[in-house]
Amino acid sequence: MIAPIIGAYIVDEPALFTAVGFLFFALCATLFAGSRARGNTGHPLLYWSGVLVQVGSAVALPFVSDLLTFFILWEFISLGTVAILFCEPGRGRLLRWYLPIQIAAAV
């Protein structure tokens, strides 16, 4: 069976199964982010933007049909992580470790 292609995305049963799993973990992560945001002294708009970018990119990831779209969505996940880490109190140390590792992984 040939899966229907919609733009740069393929919608088939394994992708739907994976996306449902991602949605479950995204719900858990969003609940955790909500509890974490209460004690966060950073910028709440930037924090929630990072969470939404991560969740949206992770849920769209199983449906991609080419490597370029996969790489772009993967980097959006990284940008969401940078936004979340920027809002943390010890962000200098966190970003000094995360950014070089993420850039090396992307290369």
Hey, what are 51's tokens?
């969470």
Angstrom distances, CA of residue 31 to CA of 24, 36, 70: 11, 9, 26
Spatial distance between the Cα atoms of 86 and 73, rounded to a whole number of angstroms: 20
Burial class (CB in 10 A: 0-12, 13-18, 19+), 55: buried
The segment with the largest mean pLDDT, out of 29-33, 78-82, 98-102, is 78-82
pTM of the model: 0.76
* Average pLDDT for 91-100: 81
Q: What is the mean pLDDT of the chain?
A: 81
Question: Can you give the pLDDT at residue 1?
Answer: 46
* Average pLDDT for 81-86: 85
Question: Can you give the pLDDT at residue 8?
Answer: 66
Q: Does residue 74 surpass a pLDDT of 50?
A: yes
Q: What is the pLDDT of residues 3-45, one digit of tens each?
A: 555 556 778 888 889 889 988 988 888 888 777 766 665 688 8
* Average pLDDT for 44-49: 86
